[in-house]
Amino acid sequence: MLVNDVYYHAKPFIPWRVRIGLRRLRARYKRATSANVWPIDEQAGSTPANWPGWPDGKRFAVVLTHDVESEKGCARVRQLMDLELKYGFKSSFYFVPEGDQTCDGMRDTVAGAGFELGVHGLEHDGKLYGSKQIFAAKAVRIREYLQRWNAVGFRSPFMQHRLGWLHQLGVQYDASTFDADPFEPEADGMRTIFPFWVPDVSGGGYVELPYTLIQDFNLFIVLRERNIDVWTKKLDWIAEHGGMALLNTHPDYMCFEGTRARDEYPVRYYEEFLSYIREKYEGQFWSGLSRDVNQHYRASAPVSLRNTRRRICMIAYAGYAVDNRVRRYAETLARQGDKVDVIAVSCSGEQVGVEEMNGVTVHKVQGPKVNEHKAWRYAYNALRFFMKSSALLARLHARNRYDLIHVHNMPDFLVFSAWYPKLAGAKVILDIHDIVPELFVSKFKGNKNGVVCALLRRLEKASAAFSDHVIVSNDVWHKKLISRSVPEAKCSVVLNHVDPVIFYRRPRTRNDGKVVVIFHGSFQWHQGLDIAVEAFARIRTTVPNAELHLYGDSGTTAAADLGRLAQSLGLNGNVKVHDRVPIDKIPDIIANADIGVVPKRADSFGNEAYSTKIMEFMSQGVPVVISRTAIDSFYFDETAVRFFPSGNSQAMANAMLDVLHDERLRTTLIAKGLEYVERNCWERHKCGYLNLVTSLTTEDFASLPPETVASSQRVPAPEPENLR
């Protein structure tokens, strides 16, 4: 960050008393404003998915580490080792390879005594991450020291971190982060007390070990604590949650004897902590070196199941609870350990505010989307959301430093809300759910050759150019986008695959003798719901116990129009309009239906808009009747769905009757639909999206001159199943 870069360049010229005074002022403010996350952040205690546990079934782990920054620190290493051995511990020491001190003889002593030797930056000057070129050049020399010292671990000075860059070092593990520590210059914590995996694009990666107990300098020199209560309180909490108590201290600041210097604290504090661990938790913890934790994690968790901890924010002008696509991405990332925030609007019946949903933090900054059947109203509400999401994202990024911003359209210009994270180095995805110029023509009866459509196409192109990658929701639109707005190399297709975590097969619980036809989604004109109502009226004489259930925008003009149409056709009480429901509840509703319908108009936007609901119906063993459109003919055939000519209500009625009365056809459609879902579910296809996230969050050094870039030899690791 710019402020830190300026500070580290000016630091040699600022007197120590001024520096420490400024840090103490800042720490006082941070302590007051961070009481909800320090010293304990409850979210950090969540056990990751697929966590393998600690060796020998131990309750938690204790990992002791030390950074050695000066000749004074080198001179105290032996005393520190003797103190730890007294209590039955060994630790990991990280030495600075170049600069005023090198500790050559002491490194051999550390390694020879069975303690661990690691590399602590290159010089201890805070300038390692000044630029990619600077880092790449220094990475070559750091690799040489790693090999010369036979070290497998690294820690950056001042706990600076660019996790995507560290693959250049070829280390097995890094220890440059923390769970929560607002007093660090880069205070973006990982919010976990467990090791996690940082993948690279080749299928390899390294283990990240965040420290979970505040460093000694911050605790005793900056905060001026005079006891170890903060350490013991946090240790007890970590033990309760089965995490890793990783402490980083510095022999440079420990006073073993004589008069203490102004930047030292009594070594008895550290000894009291070691004694506390032994006396209270003897037999309950596993004590290992950092390299031991790395080896245990690698051996116990297959690559495909390793927990990651990237920081990702999604923005969607939609209600999170009801948006299947946004939830599928966000909760998939959260399940594998990534920290995911979502900025969205509230759903009907929800309040504006912050809510945790299945491991995802949802910031609802605006009320539900209502009465947007007029273009000006939609534009006004979308602009309001753009301003609010842009301001909130800037604040969140200053605190969290996101690796990736994933923005969902509509509208396309929402991607520019990521301007600040983009300037700060985050990558940006634009996810095109609906292609905007065409939807504008369909939804608001616009002129495809008019000024507004021309502006929307320009916005589409500008939004794509701003993004690092563009995702589009089907292959038909992919071809259209790369022909007019997006280079093919930065555009990919991710269908609305059904997520088996939510859409697993549910039992049918209804037994009332009725025949239920169902639709769920938006009530826009291109969906053809008026055609469905007319078709339903035609089957009522043959199937008098039938009902048509519509789940969607119940309070809109479109819903009122459908109600009036049903009334004019004498369908009072047989067409039931419901409000939208959260995605979690949709499978149970579908499982109790007899037919799912998707009656889109082929002469509208619906001709190219892929309907997720088709696979959702299939997932519950419900046969599907759909209009023949370009997009659905592209993905489905007659064995899996029952087509009818778009716009023809009589043909739709005939298709529904065929499915209801022809048991063989019905059985075939159900079986083929379930097979289709099995082949095309999100579980089978999510690897493409996860690989994209990895490629964007792992920095590319390929454009740098070869002489400045470290070779790509990495620690061999099993190839993850989702990359095979």
Q: How far is CA 314 from CA 327, 339, 491, in A?
A: 10, 11, 18
Contacts of 426 by beta carbon, 8 Å cutoff, 6+ apart:
397, 401, 402, 403, 404, 405, 418
pLDDT at 707: 67
| Per-residue pLDDT tens digits for 25-53 | 999 999 999 999 999 999 999 999 889 99
Per-residue pLDDT, 153: 98
Asked if 434 and 609 count as a contact pair (C-beta separation under 8 A), the reply is yes
CA dist 178 and 193 (Å) reads: 8
- Do 522 and 423 share a structural domain? no
Which tokens go with 176?
């440059």
CA distance 606 to 625: 15
Report residue 483 as tokens. 């022909």
Q: Is the pLDDT of residue 712 over 50?
A: no
Q: Based on the fold, state whether residues 199 and 293 are members of the same structural domain.
A: yes
Is residue 504 one of the residues assigned to a domain?
Answer: no
Residue whose pair of structure tokens reads 């990619």 in the numeric block: 132
Say if residues 238 and 60 touch (Cβ distance below 8 Å). yes
82 in the same domain as 25: yes
On whether both 295 and 377 belong to a single domain, the answer is no
Q: What does the pLDDT read at residue 101?
A: 63
Question: pTM score > 0.85 for this model?
Answer: yes
d(CA 95, CA 150): 13
pLDDT digit string, tens, across residues 677-708:
999 999 999 999 999 999 999 987 877 777 66
Q: How far is 146 from 483, CA to CA, in rounded Å?
A: 49
List pLDDT tens digits, range 100-117: 666 788 999 999 999 999
By mean pLDDT, which of 223-237, 368-382, 600-614 is the weakest?
A: 368-382
Task: Pull the structure tokens for residue 243.
Answer: 């995490």
Q: Which helix (H) or strand (E) holds 476?
A: helix 475-484
Domain boundary among 286, 305, 324: 305
pLDDT of 5: 63
Provide the pLDDT for residue 6: 63
CA within 13 Å, CB half, 485: 30
CA angle 338, 341, 343 (to 5 degrees): 155
Residue 473 has pLDDT above 50, yes or no: yes
- Alpha helices, H only, 557-641: 557-568, 586-591, 612-619, 630-635
Q: What per-residue confidence (pLDDT) applies to 4? A: 61
Same domain as 193, residue 122: yes
Q: CA 526, 527, 533, 535: dihedral to nearest 10 degrees?
A: 90
Q: 189-203, 355-369, 372-386: which has the minimum mean pLDDT?
A: 372-386
Query: 121 — alpha (psi -120 to 50), left (phi > 0) or beta?
Result: left
Point out the domain boundary residue: 463, 493, 523. Answer: 493
> Could you tell me the residue range of the domain that residue 110 belongs to?
2-49+61-305
Q: Which runs of consecutive H residues, i.e. helices, occur in 94-224? A: 104-112, 132-148, 216
For residue 624, what are the β-bridge partners? 596
Spatial distance between the Cα atoms of 96 and 119, rounded to a whole number of angstroms: 6
Give how many domains the chain has, as a whole number.
Answer: 3
Q: Determine the Cα–Cα distance for residues 340 and 331; give it in Å rounded to an integer.
A: 8
List pLDDT tens digits, range 180-213. 999 998 999 999 999 999 999 988 999 999 999 9
- Say whether 630 sits in a helix, a strand or coil: helix
**How far is residue 692's CA from residue 576's CA, in Å, rounded to a whole number?**
42
User: Does residue 73 sit within a domain?
Assistant: yes
Residue 263's pLDDT is what?
Answer: 93
For residue 485, what are its two tokens?
A: 């707005």
- pLDDT at residue 716, as a whole number: 36
Which of 342, 337, 371 is closest to 356 using CA atoms? 342
Q: Looking at 263-394, which runs of residues are DSSP E strands?
A: 265-266, 285-287, 311-319, 339-345, 353-357, 360-366
For 99, list phi and psi in degrees, rounded to 5. Answer: 130, -150
In a domain, 603, yes or no: yes
User: 692 in a domain, yes or no?
Assistant: no
**H/E element, 37:** none
What is the reported pLDDT for 724?
A: 29
Please state, in angstroms and rounded to a whole number, the distance separating the CA atoms of residues 480 and 467: 18
Average pLDDT, the chain: 92
Token look-up 């079934």 returns 57
CATH number at residue 72: 3.20.20.370
Does 292 share its domain with 330?
no
What share of residues in the chain are helix, strand, coil (percent, to 5)? 45, 15, 35
Mean pLDDT, residues 275-299 taken together: 97
Element (H, E) at 408: strand 404-408
Same domain, 316 and 415: yes
Specify the pLDDT at position 659: 97
One domain for residues 421 and 564: no
| pLDDT for res 375 | 80
Same domain? For 293 and 442 the reply is no
Instruction: List helix spans (H) across 242-314.
Output: 268-281, 290-300
- Nearest 5°: the CA angle 495, 500, 502 is 105
| pLDDT above 90: residue 397 | yes
Question: What would the mean pLDDT of 54-66 be, rounded to a whole number?
Answer: 98
pLDDT of residue 581 exceeding 70, the answer is yes
Check pLDDT > 60 for residue 303. Answer: yes
Q: To the nearest 10°, the Cα dihedral for 705, 707, 708, 710?
A: 120
Q: Which of 493, 523, 540 is at the close of a domain?
A: 493
pLDDT score for 1: 56
Range scoring the smallest mean pLDDT among 212-216, 307-311, 581-585? 581-585
Q: State mean pLDDT over 165-173.
A: 96
Amino acid letter, residue 390: S
Q: Do 320 and 298 sit in the same domain of this protein?
A: no
pLDDT digits (tens, 9 = 90+) for 516-565: 999 999 898 999 999 999 999 999 889 999 999 999 888 788 899 999 99
Q: Is 15 domain-assigned?
A: yes
Question: pLDDT at residue 378 above 90?
Answer: no
Domain membership of residue 701 (yes or no) is: no
Of 556 and 457, which is predicted with more confidence?
Answer: 457
Residue 505 belongs to some domain of the structure: no
Let me know if residue 408 belongs to a domain. Answer: yes
In this structure, the answer to whether residues 135 and 229 fall within a common structural domain is yes
Give yes or no for a contact between 626 and 632, defined as CB atoms under 8 angstroms apart: yes
pLDDT for res 105: 83
Per DSSP (E only), the strands in 512-628 are 515-520, 546-552, 575-579, 595-598, 624-627
Residue 475's domain is classified under what CATH number?
3.40.50.2000
The encoded tokens of residue 657 equal 């009757």
What φ, ψ does residue 366 adopt, rounded to 5°?
Answer: -150, 155
Within this chain, do residues 471 and 537 fall inside the same structural domain, yes or no? Answer: no
pLDDT of 722 reads 34
Binned at pLDDT 50, 70 and 90, residue 272 comes out as very high
pLDDT higher than threshold 80 for residue 281: yes
pLDDT class for 455, splitting at 50, 70, 90? Answer: very high
Task: For residues 61-88, give the mean pLDDT.
Answer: 96
Ramachandran angles phi, psi of 208, nearest 5°? -105, 130
